[in-house]
Amino acid sequence: MSDGVGAPDDGVRDDAAERRSLEQYRTLANAVDDGIYRLDTDGRIVTANDAVLEQTGYARKALLGEHFSVLVDDDDVDRLERELRGRLESGDDPDTTFDLALETADGDRIPCEVRFSVLGTDGEYDGVVAVVRDVDEAPERDRLDSIWETYESISSVIDEADVGVFVLDETFDVVWADETVKTYFGIDRNDVIGRNKRAVIEETIRDRLDDPETFAETVLATYDDNTSVERFECLVTSGPDREERWLEHRSKPIESGRYAGGRVELYYDVTDRKESQQARRESERRFESLVNAVDEYAIFMLDPEGRVQSWNEGAERIKGYDASEIRGEHFSTFYTESDRAAGVPERNLERATAEGAVEDEGWRVRADGSRFWANVTITAIREDGKLRGYAKITRDMTERREREQQLQRERDLVEQILETSPVGIAVVNPDGSTSRANERMATLLDVPPAESGEYTAGQRDMYDRDGRLLPVEERPANRVFETGDPVSDREIRLDRGDGGRTWLSINATPIGADEGPPEQVVVTATDITDLKELAERRKRELEEREKELTAVKLATNLLETGDRPVEELLEEFVAELPRSFRHPDRTATRVSFGDREATTGTCESFERTITARTNTANGTPITIDVGLTEPLPDGESDAFIDEERELIDTLATLAKFHFERREYIDELRAETRRLEQFAYAASHDLQEPLRMVSSYLQLIERRYADELDEDGREFLAFALEGAERMHEMIDGLLAYARIKTRGGPLEPVDLEAVLEDARSDLEVRIAETGADITADPLPTVEGDESQLRQVFQNLLDNAIEYSDGTPRIHVFAERRGPEWVISVRDEGIGIPADEREQIFEMFQRLHGRGDHDGTGIGLALCERIVERHGGEIRVDSEPGEGSTFLVTLPAVDD
């Protein structure tokens, strides 16, 4: 026998106490109005109560044996499985609620709260019991008390218990039958569903019974007077598709639910009662564990006088009483003093006795005296018509009641926001009718607020931004219903009765289930009439300025093309300029810069002109003339508008800036050439007198040194040293001036060969100092080999000069896009941060000549050479930690 909730007793009927206990557990499970599931160790559904089918819309056979993931999405499955693993590993079973969405057979998603408990026997994991509560359920719920709905609410009991079931509607047509019917009677359930049960008996079943006449007469009599409960035994004969077996027939009318007025018929195999008794005892144990595991409810039994007979863990948690201290006490203990004085407990028992069940809500009292708001269901339990007691289920609704009150406050707030919103808001149904609209939406649609709920699609003509009449099917709400995708910032025009126009910006968003078509669409409308009018004005203004901007861009593009000849620039300028005026075919232009001028072919026959004049800083005149070669079209009196006059003034200013820049650049180039010529001439012309001075000083030293005293010899040495230093400076200055004028062509240069040549030039100095110079592989770059050799020689010489102890120098390269960065790193004395730029200036020295030799020109030469190559040089250094000079040079194209 199965333990599915709703299974009838097919055990040994002489064990009345055990049978009553089992019936009580079934009644308790069915009386709970939240969904109760039991899952096996693999997560498959094996037990459920009668709220399951109401919540999900599934038939029982569709759920039995299915993994619980059929009811929730993958994310919720993962979340619940992680929680279960954690509980099994820790041994804790906390009272935790999970929020998730229950997926129904129709594809809807119902927001629910889930609480589950782990079942176990002797420490072995035996599955899970879960309580699922619809968070949107109303306080009052319809109850389905029929035998069919009770059966359907408990998982898998019929098939596992070998109970044959027929469910008949009010016309006694078969609306459902289980697979066991085939086993018992040798018939296919699909062949009988939809047929009238009388015909099924006469044509199919009766001849398969040992006493067909009595069977048919007894069963058919229940249809004539569908008010009684029938119970009898019958013998099915054996056949090729069935075995001989005794069946117990039980049937009763369905009094409520979907098939109220119909009848349910159950057939139990009573052939082997011994085996049935053992299965019944196991079922009772499972039912008891199920009830105890549902700790969200206080579930307990009362005797006919109202004294507590059983007590589950949920009752202990909610009411605070231990089972040992509450059993035998009257259930009125849980009521407030005022309710006891008013006889509420007794009236509830009387109503349950008379009506079968009673539901009540009110304040109840815990063991510690605290109160909670409770939802209570009391169900009378009868056997053979005799009252055996009551099943009582109590749920703590305090949080739910507070949440409902909070939700109501939130609804009131939303309603207030809706009505005070400056944006029109409406909820549209699939048929185009309006479910809800605020007052602002009614105003925008020019509909009386009282009639806004009656507004339907198509009631008002609407136009798109181009003035096209929008069919109803193309309007935002209908597009959302069709595609399921939201619509944003759709501009709609409405024509008002006063002749004006209203522009609206429409957003439409679907609401409803995540999958499937939208149930409704929320439409918001914002009045953008003022914005549209402003945009139109701005558009007109922009159009008026468009030609002016085009001309300015043209002039800017022409004037920024570098060193183009002036004549060529002026010719292109006058050719393009007429297109920036209202009548380009009638417009001619003339532009002059100094004594150079360009004109269109028709400029000599100007009718009327406008002129802009200016001068460069050097006094070169610039003139722009624009005129008409033909009369204006009829209706126009102004040859040129203000914007066109402003345009040529702007163009004249741009031309002035351009030509001033060209004049300035030409002057800089001329000045640079003069300075280079001067530097070269000065350095060259100083060589001869300096050689003469040096020669005579050396002559004095050779002939008269012995005749001079110590001071004289010292003064002579200073003079010789100064002359030598002057010679070095003149050579350096001459080399600096020749970098660009005497430089060789830029071509591929192997830097490894250049570095080797520089090391050869410094061979003596390297030997004297014991310098250790290492290098990584170096690339080929685009450059002047002789000048790059000078750069390496200067950098290596500096690194040797400014090193403490044995100089250690390393050269390496890194590719960065189209350039190579060459680094020369030493371990010398370093350079302070505020002096790093100064070292690249001519004749700048950071140390006295007594400390380090040099003219202060070497790094300036390096910088000028690197600049000629289109690169740059810089230094990274910290005092006492050495320096790294970084030189960027163009890479050779691959």
C-alpha–C-alpha distance, residues 642 and 633, integer Å: 18
Q: What is the DSSP letter of 104?
A: P
Residue that is written with structure tokens 């509980």 in the block: 87
C-alpha–C-alpha distance, residues 864 and 869, integer Å: 9
- Cβ atoms within 10 Å, residue 746: 16
Q: CA 469, 472, 478, 479 torsion: positive or negative?
A: negative
Backbone angles phi, psi at 493, to 5 degrees: -115, 135
Residue (of 616, 622, 611) closest to 647 by Cα position: 611
Which pair of structure tokens corresponds to residue 893? 């194209």
Backbone angles phi, psi at 342, to 5 degrees: -85, 0
Q: CA triplet 78, 81, 86: central angle to 5 degrees?
A: 125
Which pair of structure tokens corresponds to residue 469? 């009449």
- Cβ atoms within 10 Å, residue 82: 10
Which pair of structure tokens corresponds to residue 443? 């105003």
> Residues near 193 by Cβ (< 8 Å), separated by ≥ 6?
174, 175, 176, 177
Partners of 814 in the beta sheet? 821
The answer to whether the CB of 528 falls within 8 A of the CB of 561 is no
The answer to whether the CB of 572 falls within 8 A of the CB of 561 is no
* Ordered mean pLDDT values, 10 residues apiece, the chain (894 residues): 42 50 56 77 82 81 84 83 81 72 84 80 77 60 35 43 85 89 88 91 91 93 89 90 89 85 90 61 60 71 91 87 91 93 93 91 92 91 87 87 82 73 84 82 78 76 86 87 88 82 88 79 86 75 60 61 74 81 84 87 67 88 87 75 81 81 74 61 58 71 77 73 61 60 79 91 89 93 88 89 88 92 90 74 52 62 85 88 91 78
Terminal C-alpha separation, the chain: 85
- The count of C-alpha atoms lying within 13 angstroms of the C-alpha of 207, restricted to the half-sphere facing its C-beta, is 7
E strand map for 406-555: 424-428, 434-437, 487-495, 501-511, 520-527
C-alpha–C-alpha distance, residues 155 and 38, integer Å: 8
C-alpha–C-alpha distance, residues 430 and 446, integer Å: 22
Residue (of 401, 396, 399) closest to 298 by Cα position: 396
Between helices 710-741 and 858-868, what is the axis angle to 10°? 0
- Cβ atoms within 10 Å, residue 849: 12
> Residues near 293 by Cβ (< 8 Å), separated by ≥ 6?
117, 119, 129, 313
Q: CA triplet 180, 183, 187: central angle to 5 degrees?
A: 95
Alpha carbon separation from 556 to 285, 552, 651, 769 (Å, rounded): 94, 6, 9, 60
Is residue 190 helix, strand or coil? helix
At 354 the pLDDT is 92
> Residues near 300 by Cβ (< 8 Å), separated by ≥ 6?
308, 309, 310, 311, 312, 315, 392
Between helices 566-576 and 529-559, what is the axis angle to 10°? 150
The answer to whether the CB of 728 falls within 8 A of the CB of 853 is no
Query: Looking at this protein, which amino acid is placed at residue 266?
Result: L
C-alpha–C-alpha distance, residues 835 and 873, integer Å: 15
Long-range (24+ apart) CB contacts under 8 A made by 171-179 are 171/196, 172/196, 172/197, 172/198, 172/223, 172/262, 172/263, 173/197, 174/200, 175/259, 175/262, 176/59, 176/148, 178/61, 179/61
Is residue 849 helix, strand or coil? coil
At 252 the pLDDT is 92
